[in-house]
Amino acid sequence: MNRRLIALATGAVLALAALMPAAAQAQGSAKPDPTKPGATVPGTNKKITAAQAQACFVWQGGVTADGGHHFADPTATVPPQVPDNWTTAGAFKPGQIRLSARQTIEPDISGTDRYGYVVIGDALYYSYYQVYGDGTIDNRSLSRVGGGWGNFTFLETSDYESPDWSKKIYRSASYALRNDGVLFRWNVGEKGWRASGSYPGFSAVKTMTLIAKTPTYDTFLANTRGGALYTIRIPSASPMKPIVKQVRTRTWQGFETLSAMGCGQYGSLLLAVDKDTKKSYLYAVGHANGLSTVIQSRGEVPATFSDPVDFRWVTIPVYDTANGE
């Protein structure tokens, strides 16, 4: 079972109490990389094949209308495939979850631990539960962090952990976009959530996804309602001053969901979902470099991602690499 730290802190924007997963720091070096060939596909008894790992995949998640936790792994084979597609029923109440940050799925001796931040109504919660091999849910908890979340439309976390255990670096930040276009950031640590800046000017953003996390910055890929595609690099230093670069000028306005997972040493595999047409596509995105960024279509995904709440499943931070910029 994952270990957690409980902390209470007061921020300039919200007064928050947070539960922090510490399994990455305490156990990361002792566990194999769950994204490599031979590792078990989350929620199944199957193994990740060498061909699947080489092709790259996205662990796409969702909360279904009836409260289930959905997992699918669109894979950039030719043509794209979705080898695994399952739902854990009863993770939440129907319609309970409004927003979800990335959720960690971590194997333990009896099944898997699943945890992360969600928004229910006007409040932020830390969600945790275990699933045994037979699908039984146990040790379920929803720990209230704080209120004031009714006007937020996007939530994500970035947990960076260095692979070098002799010079360990761990940095955790959370980001939320408010419906007036202001992007907020909190640093998350042993003292809980600490407000660490906000920046206006993102009212045109439709959605975004994390493509890079490093010791000194996080980078999101975002599309706008006008069809443009941008990178938003956010240095960890204060004051918060995002660096915005245009990647494409048009045609990206149709996607309600963008979800990226690291692919290769410097790239990302991007899942883009158009919920109006019920179609989704995979793109291989090279190292972000403004309008020179290489984006190659991998084709339409043979699956419908229609869950009302989307997020990405992740492994513990040391293995959830993101080097897209």
Q: What is the CA radius of gyration of the chain?
A: 18
The pLDDT value recorded for residue 45 is: 87
The pLDDT value recorded for residue 322 is: 96
Per-residue pLDDT of 260-279, as tens digits, reads 999 999 999 999 999 999 99
The pLDDT value recorded for residue 164 is: 78
Per-residue pLDDT of 4-32, as tens digits, reads 323 322 332 333 333 334 343 344 445 68
Average pLDDT in the chain: 90
Which percentage of the chain shows pLDDT scores above 70?
90
Instruction: Specify whether the CB–CB gap between 270 and 285 falls below 8 A.
Output: yes
**Residue corresponding to tokens 């991602």:** 305
Residues sharing a CB contact under 8 Å with residue 44, sequence separation 6 or more, in sequence order:
84, 86
Higher pLDDT, 242 or 25: 242
Cα dist. 30→20, 40, 170, 316, 318 in Å?
20, 16, 17, 12, 11
Per-residue pLDDT of 121-154, as tens digits, reads 999 999 999 999 888 999 999 999 999 999 999 9
Per-residue pLDDT of 145-203, as tens digits, reads 999 999 999 999 999 999 877 778 999 999 999 999 999 999 998 878 999 999 999 99
The pLDDT value recorded for residue 12 is: 29
How far apart (Å, rounded) are the C-alpha atoms in residues 301 and 314?
A: 20
